[in-house]
């Protein structure tokens, strides 16, 4: 694979053999050795709840980690 310039962006074309669907958002993370890892972007349940005016309470679902607060 080779990068190419498209306007103000650098584009990396991913071959179809990787099985990635169209219009899927990814987050790119650059490592200390200039490697790049792509992570599929998931929906943010907190943002969705805020838009709906809902409040999320996750405390009952989290196990006690044993730390003193």
69 within domain boundaries: no
36 within domain boundaries: yes
49 within domain boundaries: yes
37 within domain boundaries: yes
**For residue 11, what are the β-bridge partners?**
4
Q: What is the pTM (predicted TM-score) of this model?
A: 0.53
Its domain, for residue 36, covers 24-61
7 within domain boundaries: no
Q: What is the tally of structural domains in the chain?
A: 1
38 within domain boundaries: yes
Listed in order, strand segments (DSSP E) in the chain are 3-6, 9-12, 26-30, 36-40
18 within domain boundaries: no
Judged against a pLDDT cut of 70, whether residue 68 lies above it is answered with no
46 within domain boundaries: yes
CA distances from 33 to 36, 40, 61, 62 (A): 9, 21, 37, 35
How do residues 1-58 score in pLDDT, each as one tens digit?
889 999 999 998 889 999 988 999 999 999 999 999 999 988 888 888 888 888 777 6
Q: How far apart are CA 22 and CA 42, in angstroms?
A: 15
């Amino acid at each position: 694979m080779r990068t190419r310039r498209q306007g103000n962006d650098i584009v990396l074309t991913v071959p179809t053999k990787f099985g990635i669907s169209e219009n899927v958002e990814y987050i790119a993370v650059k490592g200390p050795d200039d490697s790049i890892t792509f992570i599929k972007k998931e929906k943010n349940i907190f943002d969705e709840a805020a838009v709906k005016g809902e409040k999320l309470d996750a405390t009952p679902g989290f196990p006690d980690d044993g730390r003193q607060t």
